[in-house]
Amino acid sequence: MAAVDAGRLISASAALNEGGVMNVAPGKEPGPAANIVWVASYPKSGNTWVRVFLHNLLRELSGDVEGVQDINHLYQHSLRENAVAFFEQKLGKRAAEATEVEIAKARPEVHRWLAGIKREPVFVKTHLQFCNDHLYPTINLDVMLAAILVVRNPLDVVISMSHHSALSIEDAIRQMATRDMRWRPHVQRVYEVLGSWSQSVASWLSLTDRPVYMMRYEDMLEDPQQSFAGLARFLRLAPSDGQLQRAIAKSSFAVLQKQEVASGFIERPESSQQFFREGRAGQWREVLSGKQIEEICAVHASMMQRCGYLHPDCGRPVLLATPAARQE
């Protein structure tokens, strides 16, 4: 993986305006480069937490140690792939007037455009499943440098998803189990192909020709020092112990929650009363019924095992023949 230069990453924020849209003169789009570092996850898995940490770490590395990263200014060092403005620049018309096929066709070109804005790596948030959509790739491999995959136990994701999208637990379970599930477009974003929880995680883990760094939400809570130090190493950043610790402290759930209470959060959907709600693991033990737990595990057991949320189990007993049976 190409080295990441923190100073150049930080200076690149000058190309952004407050809407998170790149300022590029018409007709002067730069050429593409393989420099997108995806921050990928199924929704409500810790994507925002990771991006806030990256912003605070880059601030520390640049010498900007005063204050914390404003959660409403995450566009300074990261972009949201699904922003309507990006697609409208490529489509030449309002995204609301475009068909799904037109959006799917434009998506790889939007990624190429984002990657070509600057020569340095750029962090881009996505909830997309890595797949084909209307025969077009959801992720443009040609301009991808690497990915940070953030995963969370689906037993807890379903609770956060229920609050986030104003769904019942049962509806959230069904949504997370729906193959090729799509999030409908919104005034600020184009539609997204999420897939089921298992599809989403598996699609990113299946990548073999690009580096993928998997972070578990639960590990970030239990041992943030180790988790975020590993992420820094993956990005070839070399913070001091003090810089790392300050970046982690400035990105804590309590800090994020306090900011949201004081100033709101522009990424909070209208259906959700609070984006940073509890920020803890194991809520499922208190909230979900035995039947709901069984239903989630029945659908996602294989991927839950792979991510360490269930003990390895092949799915059914393997009966070995007795000596007598073998003789027969």
Q: Which of 128, 162, 127, 205 is nearest to 296 (CA)?
A: 162
Q: In terms of pLDDT, which residue wins out, 65 or 157? A: 157
Q: pLDDT band at 70, cuts 50/70/90?
A: low
Mean pLDDT for 162-172 is: 90
Q: pLDDT band at 65, cuts 50/70/90?
A: confident
- For the chain, the structural domain boundaries read 6-154+177-277
Average model confidence (pLDDT) across the chain? 84
Q: What is the pLDDT of residue 315?
A: 83
Residue 4 has pLDDT above 60, yes or no: no
Q: What is the pLDDT of residue 309?
A: 97
Q: Give pTM, 2 decimals.
A: 0.83
Q: What is the pLDDT of residue 314?
A: 86
Instruction: Please state, in angstroms and as integers, the Cα–Cα distance from residue 93 to each residue in 84, 117, 169, following that order.
Output: 11, 21, 38
Q: Label the pairing between strands 122-126 and 132-133.
A: unpaired
Q: What is the pLDDT of residue 323?
A: 63
Q: In terms of pLDDT, which residue wins out, 96 or 30? A: 96
Q: What is the pLDDT of residue 32?
A: 60
Q: What is the pLDDT of residue 320?
A: 78
Q: What is the pLDDT of residue 207?
A: 95
Q: In terms of pLDDT, which residue wins out, 164 or 150? A: 150
DSSP code string of 240-270: -HHHHHHHHHHT-HHHHHHHHHHH--TT--T
Q: What is the pLDDT of residue 20?
A: 37
Instruction: Please state, in angstroms and as integers, the Cα–Cα distance from residue 112 to each residue in 124, 126, 264, 309, following that order.
Output: 12, 15, 32, 36
Lowest mean pLDDT among 194-198, 262-266, 283-287, 297-301: 262-266
% of residues, the chain, pLDDT over 90: 62
At residue 228, what is the residue type?
F
| Three-point CA angle 234, 309, 288, nearest 5° | 130
Is there a contact between 49 and 256 (Cβ–Cβ < 8 Å)? yes
Residue 270 has pLDDT above 70, yes or no: no
Q: In terms of pLDDT, which residue wins out, 276 or 16? A: 276
Mean pLDDT for 173-187 is: 94
CATH of domain 6-154+177-277: 3.40.50.300
Among the ranges 18-22, 103-107, 262-266, which has the highest mean pLDDT value? 103-107
Is there a contact between 207 and 130 (Cβ–Cβ < 8 Å)? yes
